[in-house]
């Protein structure tokens, strides 16, 4: 299997098979074959980043990053995820629309996060009496005020 691949990284832009008049259409599908060394490299990077994740985590290292710890953990995870997406999932060599389809979902998901979390962090600011009942710590704060 370790055929060092001269085929690797030839970027086959898949021909757009529609919409542009009756041009000559390529009937076959040409796979984009990635070099195995690339995959091994990404795999090693993922393992290293897992090590980083564990290493900087408060419960393991005792580092006190405070509110930054969540940000750091998510940044490292996002980095790992982007490696998997671009190389293992071939998005780097894939069509624009496949990229948009997948990454677009993240944009819309961020809207769900944005409004629900902003709602929670600003709830009861204008009128503490009208805020949501009990269990929330924030409400307690307003009662103290």
Partner 1 sequence: MTTHTPAIETAPSATRKEPSYLDVTKGFWSWAGTLDHKRIGIMYLVGVTAAFLCGGLLALLIRLHLWTPEGMLFENGVYNQVFTLHGVFMVFLFIIPAIPASIGNFVLPLMLGAPDVALPRLNLASFYLWLVGSILTVYSIITGAVDTGWTFYTPYSIETQTSVLSMGLAIFVLGFSSIFTGLNFIVTIHKMRARGQGWFKMPLFCWAIYATSVLQVLATPVLGVTVLLLAFEHIYNIGIFDPAYGGDPILFQHFFWFYSHPAVYIMILPAMGVISEVVSVHSRKPLFGYKLIAFSSISIAVISFLVWGHHMYTSGQSEFVMMAFSFLTMLVAIPTAIKVFSWVATIWGGSVALSAPMLYAISFIIIFTIGGLTGVFLGALSVDIHLHDTYFVVAHFHAVMMGSTALAFFAGIHHWWPKMFGVMYDERLAKISAVLILIGFNVTFLPQFKMGSLGMPRRYATYVEQFQIYHQVSTVGAMILGVGFALMLGYLLHSLVAGRRARANEWGGVTLDWHTPTPPNLYNFDDEPVMAGKLYDYTELDISPTGEATFKAHKSTATVGSKA
Partner 2 sequence: MSGHATIVTPTPEGFRPHAVAHHFKTAEQEFQAGKLGFWLFLATEIMLFGGLFAAYFLYHGVYAETFRVGGSTLNWHLGAFNTVLLLTSSWTMAMAVRASQLSNRKALIGFLSLTWLCAAGFMVVKYFEYTYKFSHGIGPGYFFAPEGHYAELFAGLPFPNLYFALYFTMTGIHGLHVLVGMGLIAWLIVRSSKGHFHSGFYTPVELVGLYWHVVDLIWIFLFPLLYLVP
Q: Write out the residues near partner 2 by the rule CB under 8 A.
A: 1, 3, 14-15, 17-18, 25-29, 31-34, 36, 39-40, 42-43, 46-47, 50, 53-54, 57-60, 65, 69-70, 72-74, 76-77, 80-81, 84-85, 87-89, 94-95, 97-98, 101-102, 104-106, 108-109, 112-113, 116-117, 120-121, 135-138
13 binds, among partner 1, partner 2, none (CB under 5 to 8 A by kind): none
CA 40 to chain centroid: 21
The residue written with tokens 């805020």 in the block is 131
CA distance 128 to 122: 11
Contacts of 29 (CB under 8 A, 6+ apart): 14
What tokens appear for 70 in the block?
């969540």
Residue 1 makes contact with partner 1 by CB under 8 A: no
């Amino acid at each position: 299997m370790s055929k060092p691949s001269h085929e690797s990284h030839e970027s086959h832009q898949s021909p757009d098979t529609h919409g542009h008049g009756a041009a000559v259409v390529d009937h076959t599908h040409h796979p984009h074959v990635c070099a195995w060394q690339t995959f091994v490299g990404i795999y090693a990077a993922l393992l290293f980043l897992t090590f980083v994740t564990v290493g900087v985590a408060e419960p393991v290292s005792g580092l006190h990053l405070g509110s930054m710890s969540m940000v750091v953990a998510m940044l490292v995870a996002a980095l790992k995820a982007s490696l998997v997406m671009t190389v293992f999932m071939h998005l780097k060599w894939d069509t624009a629309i496949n990229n948009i389809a997948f990454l677009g979902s993240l944009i819309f998901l961020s809207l769900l996060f944005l409004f629900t979390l902003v709602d929670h962090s600003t709830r009861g600011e204008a009128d503490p009496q009208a805020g949501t009942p009990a269990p929330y710590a924030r409400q307690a704060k307003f009662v103290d005020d």
